[in-house]
Amino acid sequence: MTILAIVVPCYNEEDILPETIEQLRALRQQLIEEQLISSESKIVFVDDGSRDRTWSIIYRACLRHEEIKGIKLAGNAGHQHALLAGMFAAKQMAHCIVTLDADLQDDIYVVREFLRKFHEGYDIVYGVRKKRDVDSYMKRWTAETFYRVMNRIGVKLIYNHADYRLMSRRAVEALAQFREVNMFLRGVVPLLGFPSTTVYYDRKERKAGVTKYPFMKMIRFAFDGLTSFSMMPIRFVSVLGFCSFFVSILFAMYVLFLKMTGHTQTGWTSLMMSIWLVGGLQLIAIGLVGEYIGKVYQETKQRPRYIVDMDLLNGPMIAARERETFSEEGIS
């Protein structure tokens, strides 16, 4: 019988987490009754350095329910690294792993279809949104533009897929061989090459809490993905530099022509435009080169992607400082 592990990264999710736990427990029980998974299947919550009561809720659930497991990271490692922490820890106990966010926007009952595809022989099953009606116009436009740009420059991304997916144990073990610090899972997973398919679903509105990906964080996330997989941006700047160089030659010829014909009065506007244009291009180029150098710098240091503070996969072991915290909150 298939042993499933559901990995849920959490960051400041105290408002929605109790309901998420109950819904996932109910889903697990249904899948067991339908004989799609084993009763040994687990739900693993990864606390990504939350500043609210997220870890308290996870710990209490671990004490009350054997199927609930928890991992607490020492600090905020980021969504992608929290996913990796949960997946790498769970791969030893499960035949396949499903990752999803704690906000319940992804239809959790699609896991049933994931498992059917897994039993058909697929190692990776992507959850793909049918449409983006629940998103604002700006978020929808930026997301669609991101996917189009990434596909245009040769990065294989699954359109309208985030991090809701099923992966077999061997796929996760292969993923563990990718050692880069700047991990962009949406681009790395398709590189594995294992048999894969997609399942479509309708995404729901967030029931509680706030999104952990505001506009500026989405822009940074997209830029990280772009620079992690392609040299196209820096090549584009090189092409832009050459174009600017040729335009400056034409402009110089124009100035010489004016001087030869006696029109020697120079224009302040054209001078300022030239200075600002060239200066702007230089700053863009320097910034983009710095971005790539920064990534190289981070990779060469080989620092750990995350540090685990507490691991409750083998049962809750409460430390003295944790015991004091839970006693103050009335948790036994």
Instruction: Give per-residue pLDDT as tens, 235-281.
Output: 676 677 777 767 766 776 776 676 677 665 556 556 656 676 677 67
Say if 14 falls within a structural domain: yes
Q: Which residues have CB under 8 Å from 229's CB, separation 6+?
A: 150, 155, 184, 187
If asked whether residues 294 and 310 sit together in one domain, one would say no
State the average pLDDT for the chain. 80
Provide the residue range defining the domain that includes 255.
232-301
If asked whether residues 200 and 254 sit together in one domain, one would say no
If asked whether residues 247 and 265 sit together in one domain, one would say yes
If asked whether residues 155 and 289 sit together in one domain, one would say no
If asked whether residues 74 and 105 sit together in one domain, one would say yes
Domain count, the chain: 2
If asked whether residues 311 and 294 sit together in one domain, one would say no
Give residue for tokens 């995350």. Answer: 306
Alpha helices by DSSP H, listed for the chain, are 17-33, 54-64, 79-90, 111-119, 137-152, 169-175, 185-188, 215-229, 232-260, 268-301, 320-328
Q: Which structure tokens are listed for 107?
A: 């239809």
Say if 106 falls within a structural domain: yes
Say if 227 falls within a structural domain: no
Distance of alpha carbon 23 from the chain centroid:
23
If asked whether residues 152 and 295 sit together in one domain, one would say no
If asked whether residues 295 and 308 sit together in one domain, one would say no
Instruction: Read off the pTM.
Output: 0.72
pLDDT tens digits, 85-129: 999 999 989 999 999 999 988 999 999 999 999 999 999 999 998
Round to whole Å and give the CA distance between 101 and 8: 6
Q: Which structure tokens are listed for 275?
A: 């200075």
